[in-house]
Amino acid sequence: MAGPAISFPIRVRMIVAALLTALALVGARPFGGVAFGADIPRLAGVVTDQAGVIGDQKDEVERALADVLKQQGVQVFVLFVRTTGDQTVTEFVDATAKENSLGADDALVLVALDDRTDAIWVSNALSITDSEINGIIAGTLEPGLRSGDFAGAMINTAKELGGAAATEPVKTVPPVETPGTNPGGDGGAGSLDLVGLVAIVLIGLGIVAVLVWLASRLSAWRETGE
């Protein structure tokens, strides 16, 4: 025979239900209800593909990155993840660079497939401006990703980063003044013309004076000769 059914008071059942709910919440959101974000990955070489989108083109991408390092001196790392969790893509790429001790002439290209976001981190030692980075993202990286050519997008992005780092800022060289030239433009040319005109007038006056003197001497000679 079955024993007598045990009936709990309503208040006890409510307390038990509340405890079970609290345990479920703790299991889903530990440490005071703060959810963990995606783990910051350790880079596995220059190409880390946690999303599995590069496939057998990984060797091609690695060769292209090696060429950029050899020719432009920029070590580009590529990282594919599914998501950055509760971090923004910028926060995630910065944290990844810091976690992996990137620096010197390093750059990191990050793509989060499920989030449909991307970002580029570059070392402060590289002469690449924020506007250049934004231009590379908008003009090279994202169009390549939209086309589905993930390997090509990484290769072309790495080449653009190398080209941007290798480009020296344009320096303005002041004009060199040489003796006898006039950097003042038209005003200086007019001054030179005036000097020449005065010289011509003076020479003319000198010639006239000589002629007058000769004429007077000739007249005096004639008078004495008569």
pLDDT in tens, 30-62: 333 333 457 999 999 999 999 999 999 999 999
Average pLDDT, the chain: 78
pTM of the model: 0.60
Q: Place 199 in a pLDDT band, splitting at 50, 70 and 90.
A: low
Domain coordinates of the chain in residue numbers?
A: 47-166
Q: Per DSSP, what are the bridge partners of residue 173?
A: none
Asked whether the CA dihedral 103, 115, 150, 167 is positive or negative, the reply is negative
pLDDT score recorded for residue 182? 46
CA 155, CA 130: separation in Å to the nearest integer? 20
DSSP β-bridge partners for residue 77: 108
Q: What is the mean pLDDT of residues 101-106?
A: 95
Strands (E), the chain: 47-49, 75-81, 106-112, 117-122
- Summarised one tens digit per residue, pLDDT across range 108-127 is 999 999 999 999 999 999 99
Please, which pLDDT band fits residue 221 given cuts at 50, 70 and 90?
low
The predicted pLDDT at position 30 comes to 39
Q: What is the pLDDT of residues 54-103, one digit of tens each?
A: 999 999 999 999 999 999 999 999 999 999 999 999 999 999 999 999 99
DSSP-assigned letters across all residues of 213-226:
HHHHHHHHHHHHH-
Burial zone of 117 (CB within 10 Å; 0-12 exposed, 13-18 middle, 19+ buried): middle
CA distance 155 to 159: 6
209 pLDDT band, cuts 50/70/90, is confident
- Check whether domain 47-166 has CATH 3.40.50.2000, yes or no: no
Tokens found for residue 141 = 């990286």
Q: Which residues of 56-66 are buried (b: 16+ CB within 10 A; e: fewer)?
A: ebbeebbebbe
131 falls in which pLDDT band (50, 70, 90)? Answer: very high
- Answer yes or no: are the C-beta atoms of 42 and 99 closer than 8 Å: yes
pLDDT confidence bin for 28, thresholds 50/70/90: very low
**Separation between Cα atoms, residue 136 and residue 143, nearest integer Å:** 10
pLDDT digits (tens, 9 = 90+) for 139-182: 999 999 999 999 999 999 999 999 999 875 444 445 554 444 44
